[in-house]
Amino acid sequence: MPRPVPWSAIVLATLLFLLHVSCSASGSVKVSQNEALALEELSIQSMLKEEVKMAIASGRKRGHRLHKPDSDASVKNYSHPILKPGIVDEIRYSYRHYREMILVRGGTFWMGTNDPESTTGEYPLRQVAVKSFYLDANPVINADYWTFRAQKKFVRSEAERKGWSWVVDAFLSNGTRKLHAMPGPTGWAAVKRAHWDAPEGPDSTLEGRWTHPVTHLSWFDARQYCQFHGKRLPTEPEWEYATRAGVTNRAYPWGDNWERQRANVWQGQWPHENNKADGHALTSPVDAFRAQNLVGFFDLIGNVWEWTSSAYVERMVAPHLQSRMVSLKGGSYVDSVNGRVNMAVRCGQRTGQKQDYTAANVGFRCAKSAPEYDPKPEARHDSSDPGKNRKKKKRVFHMRRDEL
């Protein structure tokens, strides 16, 4: 359909025509060639400005999505350049058979590991009490985060704001490695324009990965997503308690012995050889393996590290000498069973990163408190002392030292 001619272009064209007629009729006013070219350039610039305004109003691509200001913020009004309309809804619908959250009843468990050689703070074993809570059955997937971004059109992730994120160098294209990457720690590269919907840099997409866990999100991004859905990030004790549900203090969610085809981990020589014995080189779909414990949680260990709300404190170093970091749990696809490649995946494994850290192997899942399932303390009444029965004022407590 032809676009209407902008009014400003009509006005300028009319002025040029009248000026030309006036000059031809009277012969008294002469317009130089340079002045005529300047007027023509002004007309072109005005037309370009009008074209830009019309393009924005009609929903031309801006950033990584389309925005239609005159419509509501539903998913159907947003399209990814590589997607058919409605494909995100179809993916979310295909996952309807998963319970969104699983109830974990409170209790006491042994947290950590009995490995004295661990330097990450897992050691020693200690008894911890946890109240009842809900936890997502699987990490947040790309389709879920896409829907969130469709509803919150002005939100930008940490990696998008700073312009780069950490990516495993072995999975970069030659063009990205040459033009957009800067070598980092062994096997890693800081890649420009790598973020949640461009996991390996500007020439990568989410095509075929909508059921994979979303990555390249900072602690702030994860918290924002959880709060938008009326949830929160789990604490480190909550996360580990859910992992050990049904197996108490075992090494893995299913028991003490490693089982094949239960988690996505690195198998081969780091960083250039991964034989993909589990069928995956990068992240895997959250349902690629069966549930890892009897409760029904998926991808608790392996695939991606998961943010928690707890501060990361190394117990071998004085707290005042440590930088402020957040605890992540579970290990990822670049970690291994025995710890020969990066870190060993197991229930108690932990690492720490700053809150603005983003990488291709970091994701999250959401939690929600369930106080209705916890026993309520019995009220005590003592008639001998009237002061004890007075209604106490509500006290406001600060967050615990290990909570953010």
**Coil vs helix vs strand at 130:** strand
Cβ proximity of 107 and 131 under 8 Å: no
CATH number assigned to the domain covering 75-372: 3.90.1580.10
Q: How far is CA 184 from CA 132, 177, 271, 284, 360, in A?
A: 41, 12, 12, 24, 14
* pLDDT tens over the chain, length 404 residues: 444 445 555 555 565 555 554 554 444 444 455 555 555 555 544 544 454 444 444 333 333 332 233 333 333 333 344 456 676 677 667 766 656 899 999 999 999 888 888 888 888 889 999 999 999 999 999 988 988 898 888 999 999 999 999 999 999 999 999 999 999 999 999 999 999 999 999 999 999 998 899 999 999 999 999 999 999 999 999 999 999 986 778 899 999 999 999 999 999 999 989 999 999 999 999 999 999 999 999 999 999 999 999 999 877 677 777 778 999 999 999 999 999 999 999 999 999 999 999 999 999 999 999 999 998 876 555 555 555 555 555 544 444 445 55
Separation of CA 50 from chain center: 37
Give the pLDDT score at 317. 73
The distance between the two most distant Cα atoms of the chain, rounded to a whole number of Å, is: 114
Cβ proximity of 187 and 168 under 8 Å: yes
Helix (H) or strand (E) holding 108: strand 107-111
What's the DSSP call for residue 71?
Answer: S
Report residue 370: phi and psi, to 5°.
-135, 65
CA distance 344 to 118: 10
CA distance 75 to 12: 41
Two tokens at 160? 């998008």
- Extents of the domains making up the chain: 7-58, 75-372
Give the pLDDT score at 308. 98
